[in-house]
Amino acid sequence: MTMATLSAVLQPAMAGRYAVCGLVCLGWEDARAYVRAAEAEGLPVILQAGPSCRAHTPLKVLGPMFRALGEGAAVPVVAHLDHGASREECREAIESGFTSVMYDGSRTPLEDNIADTAEIAAMARHAGVSCEGEVGFVGYAAGEGSRGTDPGEAKRFAAETGVDAMAISVGNVHLQERHEGGVDLARIRAIEAVTDVPLVIHGGSGIPHADRTELARTTRIAKFNIGTELRQVFGQALRDTLAGDPAIYDRVKILSAIEAPLEAAARRALRAVAPEGAGA
């Protein structure tokens, strides 16, 4: 299966009333587990390189790594830059083989966000790559507060930037460690009424699986970003491995042991937003 753009997997998802998971990667082991999970479920998957991942591993390494996994997969795989901070970073991701970039101008005034995102979306489109943007601001648990997406601003943003997907702030919060819910359905409906761009939920780990299923099947939300709940599984599996064999020291053996539980968790996340009746 060749690598896919974000648009190539989100447009069918939105039309078919399901969603695709953007799974946040921090290294080879979790990225490989996520592709295996997608293949087991027969579903597309988006491998995401966020800021913490890029602080540890350069884009020039991550791009070929994601492509090595995706080009050998039996399902569509998107290599996605998450929360790109600048035109230069988005350009580097495209040059490194990413098939999708997200430019995050959500902390800037709307006019600047629209202008910068439009420029990057045009650059991505010229390269045959998708672009995601964000309007409103999705906050962080125990950190910056959210600014809910204004439907009028969302209409302008979608129309003037030409993005392939639009991240919105509707009660979702990054880095939530529990399924707290609290998504504002009325705000989602108001945004849907003024734009037909596929919508994206960041901070998806804070939304219960049943709520994700409902949102995927009844709204234009076509992508859920999932990171924290998978990192929790990784951390627990690592602790269990070390506790089960205090003498173990081989890095490959230690990290290989976390892949099965991580794959299982990723399969649950993928299945929650899959088309009705789909999956293994």
pLDDT tens per residue, range 149-184: 899 999 999 999 999 999 998 877 665 656 666 788
Pairing relationship of beta strands 130-135 and 165-168 according to DSSP bridges: parallel
Domain limits, the chain: 6-272
Q: Phi/psi of residue 147, each to 5°?
A: -125, 110
Q: Phi/psi of residue 268, each to 5°?
A: -65, -40
User: pLDDT averaged over the chain?
Assistant: 92
pLDDT tens per residue, range 85-95: 999 999 999 99
Helix (H, G, I), strand (E, B) or coil at 134: strand
pLDDT in the model for residue 184:
85
pLDDT in the model for residue 2:
78
pLDDT in the model for residue 182:
77
Model confidence band, residue 62 (pLDDT cutoffs 50, 70, 90) = very high
pLDDT in the model for residue 139:
65
CB neighbour burial string for 33-69, b if at least 16 within 10 angstroms, e if fewer: bbbbbbbbbebbbbbbbbeebbeebebeebbebbbeb
pLDDT in the model for residue 252:
92
Mean pLDDT of 138-156: 79
* Nearest alpha carbon to residue 260 among 278, 243, 241: 241
Pairing relationship of beta strands 77-84 and 45-49 according to DSSP bridges: parallel
- Residue 131: which H helix or E strand, with range? strand 130-135
User: Does residue 98 carry a pLDDT above 60?
Assistant: yes
Looking at per-residue pLDDT, the higher value among 144 and 28 belongs to 28
Question: Annotated active-site positions, please?
Answer: 82
| pLDDT above 70: percentage of residues in the chain | 93
Mean pLDDT of 58-73: 97
pLDDT in the model for residue 181:
65
Q: What is the pTM of this model?
A: 0.94
Q: Length of the chain in residues, anyone?
A: 280
pLDDT in the model for residue 278:
74
**Fold classified for 6-272:** TIM Barrel (3.20.20)
Long-range contact list for 210-213, CB < 8 A, 24+ apart?
A: 210/272, 211/181, 211/183, 212/19, 212/272, 212/273, 213/272, 213/273
